[in-house]
């Protein structure tokens, strides 16, 4: 099944007519993973006709309003949506306290359990927060004015059968090949065949989400070699470098330099300051350093593929 990124909001502190507060949905294998939930996110979900009931996990980068003001409404809707049996919210230190405030902000009747998980990574530490047979989701701390996390979503690598190698051993369609895909050596014609002689590794898709931050080593540790890096480019370096430094954000040039340094395949920039009516100049600045850059707009969908 194909994976997609849906950009529900691409603005920052102040929403505009064209840009909602930040929120990105990753659709993968029948589930939707939501990264940040700015004001009116659920309206954007409806505009894009996404199956809202497939959102079970919400990842919060930090608790500035433009990244979370849509949580209350979305959770209320999810808690009354068929086929949603639970909601999980992941975020930085103190997320449990803030979620309690969200749920106490109005009369809130939820029919399903809502669980909040909070993480406080150390410097230069990457924490795996979800790991199963198919995917691994990790987080690391970023360099922002309050506790802030970046996230990476990684399909687990798999072993595939090299058909030509199998034929050399006289193995075609055989149940023993299923054992090889599990990483095991197999026996055939009274001989032990090493797993490495029959298989090759297929690397899984990696998508990283780096929102509000200044440059830091944790970005590299978390997002290195991503197929897609979704990252803020709030300002134009040439004209507002001082603003980026003052408010702990990134310029397009700085974002592109990081993408180049850490070996990502595709840079997707978002979280644009409301001062820019047209973000073409932001995109052009990033492309001067990292050619494979795409700027985002609200209600945009991007199909993903392993590079």
Active site residues: 66
- Spatial strand order of the sheet with 266-270 comes to 127-131, 135-141, 149-155, 206-210, 228-232, 266-270, 293-295
The DSSP 8-state label assigned to residue 11 in this structure reads B
Asked whether 6 and 48 are in contact (CB, 8 A), the reply is: yes
Residues 6+ apart with CB under 8 A from 190: none
Closest CA to 207 of 276, 265, 260, 149: 265
Report the C-alpha gap between 106 and 35 in whole angstroms: 23
Closest CA to 117 of 95, 98, 101, 133: 95
Asked whether 7 and 50 are in contact (CB, 8 A), the reply is: no
Three-class secondary structure of residue 266 per DSSP:
strand
For 56-89, b/e burial (b = at least 16 CB within 10 A) is bbbbbbbbbebbbbbbbbbbbbbbebeebeebeb
């Amino acid at each position: 099944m194909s994976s997609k990124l849906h950009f529900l909001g691409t603005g920052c502190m102040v929403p505009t007519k064209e840009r909602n507060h930040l929120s990105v949905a990753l659709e993968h294998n029948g589930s939707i993973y939501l990264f940040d939930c700015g004001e009116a996110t659920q309206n954007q979900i409806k505009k894009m006709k996404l199956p809202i009931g497939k959102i079970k996990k919400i990842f919060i980068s930090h608790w500035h309003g433009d990244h979370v003001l849509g949580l209350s409404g979305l959770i209320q809707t999810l808690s009354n949506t068929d086929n949603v049996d639970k909601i999980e919210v992941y975020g930085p230190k103190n997320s449990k306290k803030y979620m309690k405030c969200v749920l106490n902000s109005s009369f809130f009747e939820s029919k399903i359990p809502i669980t909040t998980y909070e993480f406080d990574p150390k410097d230069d530490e990457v924490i795996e927060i979800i790991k199963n047979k198919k995917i691994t989701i990790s987080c690391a701390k970023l360099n922002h004015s309050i506790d802030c996390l970046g996230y990476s979503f990684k399909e687990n690598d798999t072993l595939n059968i090299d058909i030509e190698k199998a034929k050399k051993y006289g193995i075609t369609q055989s149940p023993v090949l299923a054992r090889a895909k599990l990483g095991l050596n197999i026996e055939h014609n009274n001989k032990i065949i090493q797993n490495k002689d029959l298989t090759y590794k297929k690397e899984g898709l990696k998508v990283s989400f780096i929102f509000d931050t200044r440059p830091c080593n944790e970005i590299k540790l978390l997002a290195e070699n991503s197929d897609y890096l979704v990252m803020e480019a709030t300002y134009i370096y040439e004209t507002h470098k001082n603003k980026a430094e003052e408010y702990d954000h990134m310029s397009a040039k700085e974002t592109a330099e990081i993408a180049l340094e850490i070996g990502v395949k595709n840079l997707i920039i978002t979280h644009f300051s409301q001062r820019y009516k047209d973000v073409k100049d932001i995109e052009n600045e990033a492309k001067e350093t990292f050619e494979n850059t795409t700027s985002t707009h609200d209600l945009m969908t991007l199909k993903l593929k392993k590079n």
